[in-house]
């Protein structure tokens, strides 16, 4: 489990997760198809990655494509997959040059060979980078991540003859897609919607949540700074109390 105490005295979150929402509504407001909004959203991804590096954030997780997104119209799914491919092929060299390490989180079952190949290439080529750890949540669902983690642990414990009743929180954290990384200090959702939508359910137990009114294509460094300012204004107790005054409250 991540050591939250390491981050209590800093105003900048180590790990920020973002639910990138509002592409379709942004496009509709401009009388454009949803694909137009998704393309603009890729530009916002670049701005978010750049802003995270400039602001000293060490881990950034972007919710790119959920396991539920497959139910969207076939054309939109095709557009989203195409943009994922374009982002990796066009931006990988620059990301690597800027010290960004890429990890794709989510289920890889039944993904096409071309998508899998791009994922593996991005992870391999960026494996030694350390300025920013970028998690791209693709074919991702928080409940499915937990299910897969328990399946891995069950198989491991059975193989080693260990009692499954001894599974610890640390075991679970290590088996998640984000194993070895700190839990997100701050979760941001754009577009004004106020829900987690099956994103990092285990890891967000003590995350600060900030809901921004901007649509994702309008997101830039100023919006990131606004979210961090809100984060810094809060007192994180992690289930405890800040001082003696709180005991009486």
User: Exposed/middle/buried for 176, CB within 10 Å: 0-12, 13-18, 19+?
Assistant: buried
Q: What is the pTM of this model?
A: 0.90
Residue 69, pLDDT score: 93
List pLDDT tens digits, range 58-116: 999 999 999 999 999 999 999 999 999 989 989 999 999 999 999 999 999 989 999 99
Residue 246, pLDDT score: 54
Which whole number is the average pLDDT over 218-228?
98
Identify the band that residue 243 occupies on the pLDDT scale cut at 50, 70 and 90.
low
Whole-angstrom distance, CA of residue 139 vs CA of residue 124 = 19
Which whole number is the average pLDDT over 48-56?
97
Whole-angstrom distance, CA of residue 127 vs CA of residue 120 = 10
Give the mean pLDDT of the chain.
92
Which whole number is the average pLDDT over 146-164?
95
Q: Is the pLDDT at 152 greater than 60, yes or no?
A: yes
Q: What letter does residue 212 receive in the DSSP assignment?
A: -
State whether the Cα torsion 80-86-87-88 is positive or negative: positive
63 within 8 A of 137, measured Cβ to Cβ: yes
* Residue 55 CB coordination number (10 Å): 14
Q: Is the pLDDT at 48 greater than 70, yes or no?
A: yes
Q: What letter does residue 166 receive in the DSSP assignment?
A: G
The rounded percent of the chain whose pLDDT value lies above 90 is 87
- For the chain, list the domains and their CATH numbers: 12-141+185-234 (3.40.1180.10)
By annotation, the residues acting in catalysis are: 21, 69
Residue 242, pLDDT score: 64
List pLDDT tens digits, range 22-45: 999 999 999 999 999 999 999 999
Which whole number is the average pLDDT over 156-163?
94
Return the structure tokens found at 163.
């009692």
106 within 8 A of 145, measured Cβ to Cβ: yes
Residue 237, pLDDT score: 73
Residue 2, pLDDT score: 46
Residue 50, pLDDT score: 97
57-85 burial, b for 16+ CB within 10 Å, e for fewer? bbbbbbbbbbbebeebeeebeebbbebbe
Q: Is the pLDDT at 238 greater than 90, yes or no?
A: no
């Amino acid at each position: 489990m991540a050591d939250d105490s390491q981050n209590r005295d800093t105003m900048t979150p180590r790990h920020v997760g973002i639910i990138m929402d509002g592409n379709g509504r942004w496009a509709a407001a401009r009388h454009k198809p949803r694909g137009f909004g998704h393309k603009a959203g890729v530009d916002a991804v670049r701005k978010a990655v750049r802003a995270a590096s400039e602001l000293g954030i060490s881990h950034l997780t972007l919710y790119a494509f959920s396991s539920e997104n497959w139910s969207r119209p076939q054309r939109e799914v095709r557009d989203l997959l195409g943009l994922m491919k374009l982002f990796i092929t066009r931006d990988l060299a620059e990301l690597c040059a800027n010290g960004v390490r890429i990890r794709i989180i989510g289920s890889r079952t039944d993904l096409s060979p071309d998508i899998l190949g791009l994922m593996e290439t991005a992870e391999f080529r960026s494996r030694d980078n350390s300025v920013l750890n970028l998690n791209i949540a693709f074919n991702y669902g928080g409940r499915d991540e937990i299910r897969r983690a328990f399946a891995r642990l069950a198989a491991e414990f059975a193989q080693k003859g260990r009692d499954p009743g001894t599974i610890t929180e640390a075991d679970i954290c290590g088996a998640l897609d984000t194993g070895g990384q700190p839990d997100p200090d701050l979760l941001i959702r754009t577009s004004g919607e106020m829900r987690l939508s099956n994103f990092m359910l285990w890891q967000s137990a003590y995350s600060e949540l900030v809901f921004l009114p901007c649509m994702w294509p309008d997101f830039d460094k100023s919006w990131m700074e606004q979210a961090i300012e809100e984060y810094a204004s809060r007192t994180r107790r992690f289930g405890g109390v800040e001082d003696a005054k709180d005991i009486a409250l």
